Structure 1
Amino acid sequence: MYDAGRLVVGFDLDMTLVDSRKGIVGCMQRVLDARGVAATDEQLWPLIGAPLLDNLALFLPDDQVESAAADYRADYLVQAIEMTVLLPGARELVDAIHDADGTVLVVSAKNPTAVKAVLEHVGINPDIVVGDLFGHDKATPLQEHRATAYIGDHSGDMHAANTAGVRAIGVATGPTDPEALREAGADLVVDDLGDLVSRLDELTAV
């Protein structure tokens, strides 16, 4: 039986709680096209979840990255929010954690304004939201808020959980396949978040 006082579950956002691929890819393509660069869905899809500046730097010279990021963020709030939908099991798992008096923490590479706008749109109400962090850097808020597990779709999420010393849970709804999640340090990999609703004991402190 789990200790509700030690049920503090962290979540990544994009492709973990929400399916945001159409909005992200569309915004990236518009920003790049405005600078004379074409990028296909296939090129952009694997980049979802990584820091925006790093992704733009793959296609643009250094002196264009900051302005492109500003344009992307403005466009995202206008164009992409309405296209974002919950992934299977997301609401059910968040509700189950709250029903068990646990804490829900969202830690994302996306900037906090966009994170909050997305969560409001899909009707998810976490207790804590942290943005602008990727990979190992996500470990800091996980430790600060005494997380017991971190759930994500990206190898960087597994690295963050391992760095923080919490359970690393991979979900196979993003661009990273289950084997790569395991190789990155996942303690458990599930097909979608619904698989965890009846397994809250596996999200508590180890």
Structure 2
Amino acid sequence: MILVLWDIDRTLLYVGDTDRTVYRETFREVVGRDPERLPQRGTGVTMPLAVRELLAANEVPHDQIDRLAGQIVARLPERLEGHREELHTSGRVMPGAMEALSAVHGAEDLIPTVVTGNLRASAEIKLDSFSMLRYVDISVGGFASDDSHRPALVGIAQRRSEAAYGSAFGRENTVIIGDSLEDVRTGREGRAKVIAVASGTTSAAQLHEAGADKVVDDLTDVGRLLSEIRALGRRGVC
């Protein structure tokens, strides 16, 4: 069995400015003023770390950041839920993503779940909004609500998957599919192979240089994607 860990944002779907709207509104609700700066787009950093950066960039006193960050993070999923309609009007499914998800889900030798910088509740809202939730086993994924250090999420997903499916998972049979430098770092540090998709804000050349095992332009060639997953997930396994 090969464990397939999908990234969400800019790999499977794009939510336009909705995430930034949610950050802005929640910051205003908790801090009491509008933020002048918002988190950088497309970095793949986990939501708790993005919130801390948001607070620091907007000159919130250092001794207040821990308390306010906790309040903001706790409110993000509920605020996102209120923008479901906007997810559809300003967001979109990435090219080939639905077909790729369906193919991986339908393969008997592949276990699809997610490793994402989203909180679990936020991840479920996004995937459900685009009818993608049915194609992953969300119960064995790794989320920013588990740990703000993204490479640690690989081990969390591996342990959950081992308990659920009775197979051991390590670097040799775990494959991340994601679009950012953070996805590549997550694989390299978290013990997983990486298929990088140049569908976000990072170029194919940058993804290669960062150490991705394979780089594809998008998810439209489903046959090639399945072949790459199996080649990486079975390399060195007898």
Q: State the TM bucket, normalised to the shorter chain.
A: 0.7 to 0.9
Cα distance, 1:86 vs. partner?
Answer: 1.8
For the residues of structure 1 that align with 2:34 and 2:54, how far apart are their CA atoms? 7
Pick closer, same or farther for the CA change 1:160–1:48 going to 2, 3 Å: closer
Contact kept? 1:155, 1:184, Cα under 8 Å? yes
Runs of 4+ in 1 over 4 A off after TM superposition: none
Pick closer, same or farther for the CA change 1:197–1:65 going to 2, 3 Å: same
Contact kept? 1:173, 1:191, Cα under 8 Å? yes
Counterpart of 2:137? 127
Counterpart of 1:68? 72
For structure 1, the 5+ residue unaligned runs are: 1-5
Q: Aligned with 1:176: secondary structure?
A: coil
Q: Aligned with 1:156: secondary structure?
A: helix
Cα distance, 1:196 vs. partner?
Answer: 4.2
For structure 2, the 5+ residue unaligned runs are: 162-168
* Counterpart pick for 2:226 among 194, 200, 206: 200
For the residues of structure 2 that align with 1:36 and 1:17, how far apart are their CA atoms? 33
Counterpart of 2:102? 95
**Bigger Cα displacement from structure 2, 25-34 vs 89-98:** 25-34
Identical pairs, percent: 23
Cα-to-partner distance string for 1:3-57 (whole Å, 9 max, x where unaligned): xxx34321011121111232101111223345324346xx534255312222222
2:208 is the alignment partner of 1:159: no
Q: Match for 1:105: what amino acid?
A: T
Counterpart of 2:164? none
Cα-to-partner distance string for 1:65-92 (whole Å, 9 max, x where unaligned): 2222233332111115651432111111
For the residues of structure 2 that align with 1:103 and 1:82, how far apart are their CA atoms? 31
* Counterpart pick for 2:8 among 13, 22, 35: 13
Q: TM-score, normalised by structure 2?
A: 0.72
Cα-to-partner distance string for 1:110-147 (whole Å, 9 max, x where unaligned): 11122122222211120243322453112203543325
For the residues of structure 2 that align with 1:48 and 1:29, how far apart are their CA atoms? 18
Q: Aligned with 2:117: secondary structure?
A: coil
For the residues of structure 1 that align with 2:158 and 2:75, how far apart are their CA atoms? 33
2:126 is the alignment partner of 1:118: yes
Q: Match for 1:89: what amino acid?
A: G
For the residues of structure 2 that align with 1:150 and 1:113, how far apart are their CA atoms? 20
Higher RCO, 1 vs 2 (CA within 8 Å, ≥6 residues apart): 1
Cα distance, 1:190 vs. partner?
Answer: 1.6
